[in-house]
């Protein structure tokens, strides 16, 4: 049975799903060293934001197939290292959207009315009604930085409270912003005009310290900023200075440059700052959502099925995936076949998607063809996750073309590869029942299903040659399951394709090429 390590607190609903297919070990608070020691025996890892999955941990996970992040941000996972190892990384892109948006709204209101400090003062036995005179958000301007899932929900809620909305998001259309009642502006305008600023962007090199001393200096003295996105988008030292100097009115932070928050000048500030320990996703509802969403994906991947929210595989809707599934096998088989015909060191792969496959939706077939091509060299190390990276590292150039004309089959795939044994090509298609047919080899028409052991010869079409080859194979005790000849003209060049019951014994290829009329012979194992 597969083994799953759960290294952060996950709702029981997720554990129950994982337990259907695996033994589940929950080990919270592992140190990096303990992680490296524990990980080799696990097939899957499920985390929240509490575990930092480094390259060392990933490289020690020899059996790891999937890392599931019960939440949105995968910035605590070294995704490039996982991709290189062929480990799929999945998340739950929507499970905690509402929870995080509501937390941001709660932070904005709590900050405006000093609720945490007022509450603490009453609990201390005081009755101070002067210190905690707040501000209304009604008719104030909210600047939403990042108008994605969470930012959109915050904008909608803020609009309902009578706020005016600005948004900064270079990847969102003006129409979308207008639909949400936001005026799309450049970041500087947002900083200068907003009374409240809420951040809902990922942490990337571009967004790191987006809110630095310079940005803070552009904000209004009454401005308040809320970060329920990611630590490090705000420069915490600069923020502490700005608050201390009264350059802005307040800040509410759920996320920090380093978590848990250690010694920090932010802790020393008063009612103008609210700090929560990364609670954006901490609602019962969100935790059930993300646990189920990610556990289902881990279960599916362990059962050999695709994941629906993989962050390091070309994104595919389940519908498209279902449509493409039979063709994925075709692409992989043809990639494997053409790779073997072309020999090692392939440096160019041409992929032509024909007929109904000539659409952008078919891009995963190119990845499947690459996986097949690399499978002789990398065996089970290559998969849909790392095939493109591995190909790039090996200097394999890929040329993709599309031809929508329908010929003999609704959809077909033509691959040609240039390697140490020259350039070879194969075409394949699916029959109505989904069975694979190889329909062309090196531009010679044939029609044969792939089989585990195959022999291809390039020969001169002349009487007696089939008999001679049959006798030679018989003398080596090799049984022929089926045979076909493909030719363009009578007595011209031709290919012979044989499916064999057994692998060819060593040395027989040289004997085959000694048969008069046979120029070349290739053996292939699929
Ligand atoms: N505090 C929490 O517990 C918690 C919970 C959930 C999500 N999050 C974080 O909230 C953030 C937003 O999540 P989401 O689900 O809305 O993501 P999303 O992908 O739906 O939206 C992100 C938006 O940011 C925009 N964006 C990207 N780069 C930008 C840039 N340089 N400048 C401006 N906009 C940019 C994108 O176009 C997108 O519209 C993420 O960082 C996520 O990790 C935090
Ligand atoms: O795991 C959590 O509680 C936080 C999740 C949140 O930061 C996210 O990116 O989804």
Cβ pair 494, 469 in contact under 8 A = no
Cβ pair 247, 221 in contact under 8 A = yes
Tell how far the Cα of 104 is from the centroid of ligand 1, in angstroms. 13
Helix axes 318-342, 363-378, angle to 10 degrees: 40
Is this complex's ipTM strictly greater than 0.95?
Answer: yes
Q: 245 in helix, strand or coil? A: coil
Q: What are phi and psi of 126, to 5 degrees?
A: -90, 165
Strand partners, 211: 234
| Cα–Cα dist 30/119, whole Å | 35
Instruction: Give me the pLDDT at residue 319, please.
Output: 67
Residue with CA nearest ligand 1 atom 10: 229
Instruction: Give me the pLDDT at residue 433, please.
Output: 87
CB of residue 307 inside a 6 A radius of ligand 1: no
Closest to 228 in 3D by CA, of 47, 49, 8: 49
Determine the atom of ligand 2 nearest the C-alpha atom of 75. 9
Q: pTM of this prediction?
A: 0.75
Q: 408 in helix, strand or coil? A: coil
What are the Cα distances from residue 257, in Å, to 13, 90, 169, 509?
Answer: 31, 24, 22, 63
C-beta neighbour count of 394 within 10 angstroms = 14
Catalytic one of 278, 299, 414, 459:
278
Tell how far the Cα of 279 is from the centroid of ligand 1, in angstroms. 16
pLDDT digits (tens, 9 = 90+) for 205-248: 889 999 999 999 999 999 999 999 999 999 999 999 999 999 99
| Cα–Cα dist 91/449, whole Å | 39
Tell how far the Cα of 488 is from the centroid of ligand 1, in angstroms. 58
Helix axes 284-302, 97-112, angle to 10 degrees: 150
Residue with CA nearest ligand 1 atom 38: 148
Instruction: Give me the pLDDT at residue 326, please.
Output: 87
Cβ pair 478, 494 in contact under 8 A = no
Q: 355 in helix, strand or coil? A: strand
Tell how far the Cα of 123 is from the centroid of ligand 2, in angstroms. 30
| Cα–Cα dist 441/426, whole Å | 5
Instruction: Give me the pLDDT at residue 318, please.
Output: 58
Residue with CA nearest ligand 1 atom 43: 73
Query: Which residues 6+ apart lie within 8 Å of 340 measured at CB?
Result: 376, 522, 524, 525
Mean pLDDT by 10 residues, the chain (526 residues): 97 98 97 97 97 97 96 92 90 94 98 98 98 98 96 98 95 87 97 98 91 98 98 98 98 97 97 98 97 96 84 66 84 96 91 93 91 85 82 90 91 95 96 93 95 94 92 92 91 94 89 92 92
Q: 206 in helix, strand or coil? A: coil
Query: Which residues 6+ apart lie within 8 Å of 116 measured at CB?
Result: 110, 271, 274
Cβ pair 495, 445 in contact under 8 A = no
What is the distance of C-alpha 479 from the center of its chain? 45
- What ligand is nearest to the CA atom of residue 280? 1
Determine the atom of ligand 1 nearest the C-alpha atom of 282. 3
Cα radius of gyration rounded to whole Å, the chain:
31
pLDDT digits (tens, 9 = 90+) for 15-56: 999 999 999 999 999 999 999 999 999 999 999 999 999 999
Closest to 425 in 3D by CA, of 413, 410, 443: 443
Is 230 among the catalytic positions? Answer: yes
Closest to 158 in 3D by CA, of 179, 142, 173, 174: 142
Residue with CA nearest ligand 1 atom 3: 280
Determine the atom of ligand 2 nearest the C-alpha atom of 73. 9
Determine the atom of ligand 1 nearest the C-alpha atom of 96. 6
Is 224 among the catalytic positions? Answer: no
Helices (H) and strands (E) in the chain, counts: 17, 22
């Amino acid at each position: 049975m597969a083994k799953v390590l759960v290294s952060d607190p996950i709702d029981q609903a997720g554990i129950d799903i994982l337990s259907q297919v695996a033994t589940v070990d929950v080990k919270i608070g592992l140190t990096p060293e303990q992680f490296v020691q524990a990980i080799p025996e696990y097939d899957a890892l499920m985390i929240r934001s509490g575990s930092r999955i480094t390259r060392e941990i990933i490289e020690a996970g020899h059996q790891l197939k999937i890392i599931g992040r019960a939440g949105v941000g995968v910035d605590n996972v070294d995704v490039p290292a996982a991709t290189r190892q062929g480990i799929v990384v999945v998340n739950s892109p929507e499970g905690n959207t509402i929870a995080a948006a509501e937390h941001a709204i709660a932070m904005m209101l709590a900050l405006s009315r000093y609720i945490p400090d007022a509450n603490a003062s009453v609990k201390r036995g005081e009755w101070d009604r002067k210190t905690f005179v707040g501000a209304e958000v009604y008719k104030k301007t909210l600047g939403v930085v990042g108008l994605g899932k969470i930012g959109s929900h915050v904008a909608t809620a803020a609009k309902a409270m009578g706020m005016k909305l600005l948004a900064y998001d270079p990847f969102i259309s003006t129409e979308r912003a207008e639909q949400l009642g936001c005026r799309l502006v450049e970041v500087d305008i947002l900083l200068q005009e907003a009374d409240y600023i809420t951040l809902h962007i990922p942490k990337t090199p571009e967004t790191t310290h987006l809110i630095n001393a310079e940005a803070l200096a552009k904000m209004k003295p009454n401005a308040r900023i809320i970060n329920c996105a990611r630590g490090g988008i705000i420069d915490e030292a600069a923020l502490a200075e700005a608050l201390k100097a009264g350059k802005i009115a307040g800040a509410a932070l759920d996320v920090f440059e380093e978590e848990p928050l250690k010694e920090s000048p932010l802790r020393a500030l008063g009612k103008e700052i609210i700090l929560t320990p990364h609670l954006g996703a901490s609602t019962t509802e969100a935790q059930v959502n993300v646990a189920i969403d990610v556990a289902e994906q881990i279960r599916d991947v362990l059962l050999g099925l695709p994941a629906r929210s993989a962050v390091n595989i070309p994104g595919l809707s389940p519908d498209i995936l279902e449509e493409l599934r039979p063709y994925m096998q075709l692409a992989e088989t043809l990639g494997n076949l053409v790779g073997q015909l072309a020999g090692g060191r392939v440096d160019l792969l041409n992929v032509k998607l024909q007929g109904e496959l000539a659409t952008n939706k078919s891009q995963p077939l190119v990845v499947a063809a690459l996986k097949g091509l690399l499978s002789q060299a990398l065996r089970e190390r290559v998969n849909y996750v790392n095939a493109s990276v591995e190909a790039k590292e090996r200097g394999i150039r890929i040329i993709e073309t599309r031809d929508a004309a329908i010929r003999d089959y609704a959809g077909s795939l033509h691959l040609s590869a240039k390697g140490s044994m020259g350039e070879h090509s194969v075409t394949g298609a699916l029959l109505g029942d989904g069975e694979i047919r190889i329909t062309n080899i090196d531009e010679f028409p044939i029609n044969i299903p792939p089989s585990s052991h195959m022999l291809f010869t390039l020969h001169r079409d002349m009487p007696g040659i089939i008999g001679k080859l049959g006798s030679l194979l018989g003398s080596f005790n090799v049984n022929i399951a089926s045979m076909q000849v493909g030719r363009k003209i009578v007595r011209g060049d031709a290919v012979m394709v044989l499916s064999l019951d057994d692998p060819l014994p060593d040395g027989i290829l040289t004997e085959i090429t000694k048969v008069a009329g046979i120029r070349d012979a290739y053996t292939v194992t699929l």
